[in-house]
Structure 1
């Protein structure tokens, strides 16, 4: 604790500094000016009149400062009470870097102001300006990267497929893009729900605004509220003193994608519902409401209607989200798309790994089509990457995938007990296997395969279409 002697000495030093500060500025500065509350000149130091080409300094005392220095901002300082800490003032052919401050009396009333020429040559500011410009460039670069991170990477062209199931969901998604209503995307894991959400945003009128994604299942429940709605400055111990914006604010004007919405807790469901209804949020620890304009696209791998029926998901929130519903089919239900999806994924993986492009042999595709693909397109990408890394050949063969997916029984020859197949189903399966074997033996030449099967090429194409095996070729 400071002693009485220290306190007295400190006060003496402070008073001395205050008494000599003006004198020090007067001696060191190339210009020092004092005005009264009416912005009339009260005093100048000896150097300033020389820079201002004033032959008789006494003659300007009492004059409005603008009559002597046309570009002065001292009147603004004494009128508003706001200092101008750093400015460049032009006077004739000269430019000065100046600082302007208000002067207050003991009661805090403004009684005048003073200005100081910090530099009489703005070039002396070059190091400061250079650092400032570097900081501006770094800030702009950071903002650009953040904007890029919040832009969508996918469009409808990335949702690969030409099967009826794929075309149907893409058509529905394009209609959703033209509207502004909430969208609920339902599908198994790995089917491309976020890709479809990004495609909707990219084709919507909000495409130029942010796309912000939140994976609800990946964030601890205790943090979800602050992630959504933000945190007020100093809301709790350890909170950022400047506060933090939530996902709703970050997505302002754009789209907020809520992945795995079915995993949201009931308490947060209620707060989300209010945000959607009122279009306003309240940051954690704040009593201030913030208006938001975001479009909601939600996705889930759960059966939300069943969750509602069993009381695990709020019915009112479900109805709010379930305006436009997209059901993304699993890969096993659109195997006609498997060849084109596999080729696209193989090219993408090869580019990422720095590998040359590889093709997939018809027998390899036929083998992959026998898998049930519980992980859907994401699992297919994993299998293709493993195949590319394990093979040096220009084309991936069936044997490459047999090592990764041994003993595939996605389409078992013997159905489960209690589910006997009809004679028509047995015949179709036999025809399917015969056609695939013939085409594989003919190295993909369908005319030669038709001759091996003893049918015309037209008949072969008809059977391929009727049996739905175009994707196996």
Structure 2
């Protein structure tokens, strides 16, 4: 007999009656995921037959989509979730059952559906906050899993294996890779594969924050911290990520002062809001990302060495698209379906020549550039099959042009310079527009122009 069964059998029947009366259905499982108790209301709600005994059966055999085993495995509660049961929206709460030493011996789920209107103020408040943060490009919604990294190339499979292992460790991760390789997607995938998956994922583009706002946005503000500040104070993004994951994109762009404060967050797990003299404990897992060489910045004195080593505990290097050419057909198919779904445009396919060109192009902007070119093609194509012309191949280099190179780097630099020059010409030398055409950041564009002596 399991510990939970013993507890139920020795408990006052009034306890189970009370639990049943508080909701429209309840079910409990033991540490082996076997059902040890379910209320009559739960049977009726799930339309389970009265003449069948479910006690002792594996809960997944009866309810294949149940989330209780996940609660049992992680030991983390799910205080509020919405699910549809027999065409009726229900609010669901799932809780782990723990011993005094913290070990989990079971899980219990409660279903509510009579009073969802009482939750409307909470939904409205969350929607307003989410809309505000998303509009400011500060909060990024965690919607991707590791399976959303499309492809089966050795380079991709390796990074997915590394990411899955890293997700189970509650330590700092540093994502490295060129612009457009999918660092944010990987960060969300790691979060959703980790024990913190039910807590918030808060993403911040550090390069998009004005220097004067970085400290307030990260660490929050105390009441009356400065003229015009919220009189009640304001939570920072680190507090919003409590219990979950904080994703710091473009980490190389933060100032020395913020580097020092961030170091304390990682070392001491505490923050001090702007205008406050009180330290506050925080529980966040930090994933940082950069397309720049942090070690070189450390050597030049532009980035703190101690922060670099704190961030570099688990470095993951994302492969460039040119290093995973076999994945291009699958990625292209996935992206074109996504573009068609989101834009309402008809679903198109790639011609043989277009697919060959995609696999031969050097992709300075990686997957982001691929997405941009496919989106352009879906708009410009006049046939069912996308041509190389629709992809903009003719703008970059003539297919009839043959150039002999004795040095591979020379060939690569020549092709990259032509891509940059064409984008600059099309944008009338507006570098922001040129960077967007290439699917890279403005800073990356400047760096490449400088490197190629253009």
Give the TM-score category using the shorter length: 0.5 to 0.7
Hey, what's the Cα distance between the residues in 1 that align with 2:329 and 2:348? 13
* Structure 2 counterpart of 1:215: 205
* Structure 2 counterpart of 1:86: none
Hey, what's the Cα distance between the residues in 2 that align with 1:413 and 1:173? 41
* Structure 1 counterpart of 2:328: 338
* Structure 1 counterpart of 2:313: 323
Hey, what's the Cα distance between the residues in 2 that align with 1:262 and 1:256? 16
* Structure 1 counterpart of 2:105: none
Classify 1:190/1:418 alpha carbon distance in 2 versus 1 (closer, same or farther; 3 Å): closer
* 2:348 pairs with 1:353: no
SS at match of 2:316: strand
Shift of the alpha carbon at 1:353? 0.9
Deviates more, 1:148-157 or 1:189-198: 148-157
Q: Is residue 145–residue 192 contact of structure 2 (8 Å, CA) maintained in 1?
A: yes
Hey, what's the Cα distance between the residues in 2 that align with 1:418 and 1:194? 31
RMSD of equivalent CA atoms: 2.5
Classify 1:146/1:173 alpha carbon distance in 2 versus 1 (closer, same or farther; 3 Å): farther
- Which aligned pairs between 1:87-236 and structure 2 lie closer than 5 A? 137-143=120-126, 146=129, 151-236=141-226
- Which aligned pairs between 1:308-319 and structure 2 lie closer than 5 A? 308-319=298-309
SS at match of 2:287: strand
Normalised TM-score (structure 1) = 0.57
Deviates more, 1:362-371 or 1:319-328: 362-371
| Structure 1: 5+ residue stretches without partners | 1-132, 422-473
Deviating above 2 A after TM superposition, structure 1's stretches of 4 or more consecutive aligned residues are 133-142, 144-151, 397-406, 411-421
What are the Cα deviations for residues 64-114 of structure 1, in whole angstroms up to 9, with x where unaligned?
xxxxxxxxxxxxxxxxxxxxxxxxxxxxxxxxxxxxxxxxxxxxxxxxxxx
Q: Is residue 140–residue 204 contact of structure 2 (8 Å, CA) maintained in 1?
A: no
- Which aligned pairs between 1:320-469 and structure 2 lie closer than 5 A? 320-402=310-392, 405-407=395-397, 414-415=404-405
Normalised TM-score (structure 2) = 0.60
Hey, what's the Cα distance between the residues in 2 that align with 1:298 and 1:397? 39
Classify 1:403/1:329 alpha carbon distance in 2 versus 1 (closer, same or farther; 3 Å): closer
Shift of the alpha carbon at 1:137? 2.3
What are the Cα deviations for residues 27-52 of structure 1, in whole angstroms up to 9, with x where unaligned?
xxxxxxxxxxxxxxxxxxxxxxxxxx
SS at match of 1:217: helix
* Structure 1 counterpart of 2:37: none
Q: Is residue 281–residue 291 contact of structure 1 (8 Å, CA) maintained in 2?
A: yes
Classify 1:340/1:413 alpha carbon distance in 2 versus 1 (closer, same or farther; 3 Å): farther
Shift of the alpha carbon at 1:416? 5.3
* Structure 2 counterpart of 1:458: none
Hey, what's the Cα distance between the residues in 2 that align with 1:292 and 1:200? 20
Shift of the alpha carbon at 1:408? 6.3
* Structure 2 counterpart of 1:297: 287
Q: Is residue 376–residue 390 contact of structure 2 (8 Å, CA) maintained in 1?
A: no
Hey, what's the Cα distance between the residues in 2 that align with 1:416 and 1:309? 35
| Structure 2: 5+ residue stretches without partners | 1-115, 132-138, 412-454
Q: Is residue 217–residue 236 contact of structure 2 (8 Å, CA) maintained in 1?
A: yes
Q: Is residue 147–residue 210 contact of structure 1 (8 Å, CA) maintained in 2?
A: no
SS at match of 1:415: coil
What are the Cα deviations for residues 106-149 of structure 1, in whole angstroms up to 9, with x where unaligned?
xxxxxxxxxxxxxxxxxxxxxxxxxxx98962443332575797
Hey, what's the Cα distance between the residues in 2 that align with 1:283 and 1:276? 15
Q: Is residue 176–residue 324 contact of structure 1 (8 Å, CA) maintained in 2?
A: yes
What are the Cα deviations for residues 353-380 of structure 1, in whole angstroms up to 9, with x where unaligned?
1012111122111112222211111111
Q: Is residue 212–residue 251 contact of structure 1 (8 Å, CA) maintained in 2?
A: yes
Hey, what's the Cα distance between the residues in 2 that align with 1:313 and 1:169? 26
